[in-house]
Amino acid sequence: MTIHDLETPALLVDLDIMERNLARVAGYAREHGLRLRPHTKTHKTPELGRRQVALGAAGLAVAKVGEAEVMLESGTPDLLVAYPVCGASKLRRLGEVARRTRVTVAVDSLEVARPLSASAQEARVEIGVLAEADVGLARVGVRPGAELDALIDGLRALPALRWEGVTFYPGHIKKMDGQGLETLEQVARLVGDALDHLHSTRRAPAIVSGGSTPTLFHSHRVRGVTEIRPGTYIFNDRNTVSTGACTWDDCAAALLCTVVSSAVAGQMILDGGSKTFFSDRLSCDDDGCYGRVVEAPEARFFKMNEEHGYVALSEAAGRFGVGDRVRVIPNHICVAVNLHERMYGIRGESVEVVWEVKGRGKLQ
Ligand SMILES: Cc1ncc(COP(=O)(O)O)c(C=O)c1O
């Protein structure tokens, strides 16, 4: 099968690029003695989790229990649920997952940890916990210092939980320019000071889990970090390019779309809109566009309806007619993948593998 046989819109993954991305990050982690626990929210596909583990990842990360259930199929020896798990039935399901692989949960309150402990006791499993600290994103996580101390002490006292260390997510750092590097320095100081304090107060964490795709190759600058959890790096997207963390040549995933109308002068309509791409704008340097047309980089993908993508061609060199096909690199690949039933792994024009996106829609 070749890409010409595929119906569109189709989510393509260039295997050469993906494999290079995976190998580069595995090599970086090895070189700096960092444990790699890739976040699978980007690909949501057990087979790709399996590849990450085969390349040396110590485990995998997910956000939701439903994703954890799906990711068991990857055979991972270790799963981090990097999200507070709340609610009795989710905790019961997590207990089942913990019977099948080693599970750790990131928590930022004892309100979340106490029911987790109770349900682990009931299920007769032990569940690891990481105390989540906020280092600037102001999303989840307690402040380093007295709040983090109290959380750790509380976690250590709860039965059936295994306190493993601390976690943070530097998601407020988007662009690795001068300002981004400065913010990373601040994060490094905050984490370094917090760790000095934890060591001197007999709360030394075994695991210090951090990392994101924009800050990926700077992770070793944050003293004390033992593990990184990048997700987007496997495919990359327009956001990753705009942060400076990769180039267009590192973008492995694209939506293959067909031109279905060129009735309006200077414009083409693609057979994919917000139900194909999702509507996220760029997280930094927003230019009002929803993707990069590989065959016409100067074209402006300026508007979407659910099933229509509007592309202005006035600045583009090429001309396109009905039936032509183009590839579009989306702004945010993680949310785009979640919209698709399958991904097509390609080498050149040949379709080498088809993956079912088993974790798509697993929001619970
Ligand atoms: C807690 C957590 N860890 C890791 C990641 C991975 O970050 P990135 O996609 O920048 O690699 C995310 C992304 O949302 C996250 O929320």
Is residue 281 within 8 Å of 271, Cβ to Cβ? no
**What's the pLDDT score for residue 44?**
98
Mean per-residue pLDDT of the chain: 97
Between the CA of 4 and the centroid of ligand 1 the distance, in Å, is: 34
CA 118, distance to chain mean position in Å, is 30
For residue 23 the two structure tokens come to 């190998």
34-40 mean pLDDT: 98
pLDDT band at 360 (very low <50, low <70, confident <90, very high): very high
Question: 10 Å Cβ neighbour count for 326?
Answer: 24
pLDDT band at 318 (very low <50, low <70, confident <90, very high): confident
Between the CA of 73 and the centroid of ligand 1 the distance, in Å, is: 21
What residue ranges line ligand 1, CB within 6 angstroms? 39, 82, 169, 212-213, 229-233
Q: Which residues are registered as beta bridge partners of 258? A: 325
CA 266, distance to chain mean position in Å, is 36
Question: 10 Å Cβ neighbour count for 217?
Answer: 17
Between the CA of 124 and the centroid of ligand 1 the distance, in Å, is: 30
pLDDT surpassing 90 at residue 55: yes
Stated as kind and residue range, the H or E segment containing 123 is helix 110-123
pLDDT tens digits for range 184-224:
999 999 999 999 999 999 999 999 999 899 999 999 999 99
From 39, 176, 338, mutation site for ligand 1 pocket: most ligand atoms within 8 A of C-beta: 39
Q: What is the CA angle 220-240-281, rounded to 5?
A: 140
Between the CA of 1 and the centroid of ligand 1 the distance, in Å, is: 34
Of all protein residues, the one whose alpha carbon is nearest to atom 4 of ligand 1 is 229
Q: Which residues are registered as beta bridge partners of 167? A: 132, 209
How far, in Å, CA of 287 to CA of 220, rounded? 32
Question: 10 Å Cβ neighbour count for 1?
Answer: 12
Is residue 263 within 8 Å of 275, Cβ to Cβ? no
pLDDT surpassing 90 at residue 105: yes
How far, in Å, CA of 329 to CA of 237, rounded? 6
pLDDT surpassing 90 at residue 317: no
pLDDT tens digits for range 130-177:
999 999 999 999 999 999 999 999 999 999 999 999 999 999 999 999
From 140, 169, 228, mutation site for ligand 1 pocket: most ligand atoms within 8 A of C-beta: 169
Between the CA of 39 and the centroid of ligand 1 the distance, in Å, is: 6
How far, in Å, CA of 129 to CA of 159, rounded? 12
**What's the pLDDT score for residue 287?**
96
pLDDT surpassing 90 at residue 276: yes
**What's the pLDDT score for residue 310?**
98
pLDDT tens digits for range 228-248:
999 999 999 999 999 999 999
Handedness of CA 114, 117, 119, 122 (dihedral sign): negative
